[in-house]
Amino acid sequence: MPPVFNKEFCEKLDELFRWRRDVRRFKADPLPQGMLDELLETATLAPSVGNSQPWRFVVVEDRTRRDKVRNNFEACNREALEDYQGKEADTYASLKLSGLDRAPAHIAVFCDTQTDIGKGLGQKTMPETLKYSVVSSIQTLWLSARAKGIGLGWVSIVEPETIKEILDIDEESWDLVAYLCIGYPEEEHEVPELVRFGWQDRLPLSQTVIRR
């Protein structure tokens, strides 16, 4: 028999969605033994086009490689700041946009864009669904981590090819989708940090739904 998800469960699930945060402020405490593998196992339950399972998780443990990733982030972040002026520049400069300095776990998530798993089903007209599948695995990981009191931060202010070089990823078909920081958050907030710091409010549903 399939499970029955009662009203209480559905309410708690909605609460989980609301409390999922992009964490940048981590405690340095390590994750419990085996927890990272448990989270990654859950991530592989995500749907994928043609059951291709194109996600490739690179756990970055080497301190030198981590430092190089952080240096790349800092260089890219300085360059990004130049795109803003006045008050926006001041606000951007005040934002903490990565947890690379303290997060105990780092994971680079790649998409194998040439995988033969799944035999290409569903990809002919929309090959980008491979990367959408990887994003789905990241979201699955994100929610599973949050349910266990663990935070996840997605660092996008990095150069994908530089990250591949730092991590010695030679496979040309592997495209970087995300660089993730994982660990216990220093603080808990229901409201996203970019809202709290005045960068961008949430949009009402009426601005994002179109009916035909």
Q: Which DSSP letter does residue 150 get?
A: -
CA distance 144 to 197: 26
Architecture of the domain spanning 22-198? 3-Layer(aba) Sandwich (3.40)
Q: By three-state DSSP, how is residue 181 classified?
A: strand
Per-residue confidence in pLDDT tens, the chain, 212 aa: 999 999 999 999 999 999 999 999 999 999 999 999 999 999 999 999 999 999 999 999 999 999 999 999 999 999 999 999 999 999 999 999 999 999 999 999 999 999 999 999 999 999 999 999 999 999 999 999 999 999 999 999 999 999 999 999 999 999 999 999 999 999 999 999 999 999 999 999 999 999 99
List, edge to edge, every strand of the sheet that includes 55-60.
55-60, 105-112, 174-183, 151-155
Whole-prediction pTM value? Answer: 0.96
Residue ranges per structural domain of the chain: 22-198
Q: At 25, list the tokens.
A: 């402020």
What's the Cα-to-Cα distance from 146 to each of 47, 104, 168, rounded to whole Å?
Answer: 19, 16, 30
Write down the residue that tokens 């028999």 correspond to. 1
Q: CB atoms < 10 A from the CB of 75, how many?
A: 14
Establish how many alpha carbons lie within 13 A of residue 189's alpha carbon, considering only the half-sphere containing its beta carbon.
14
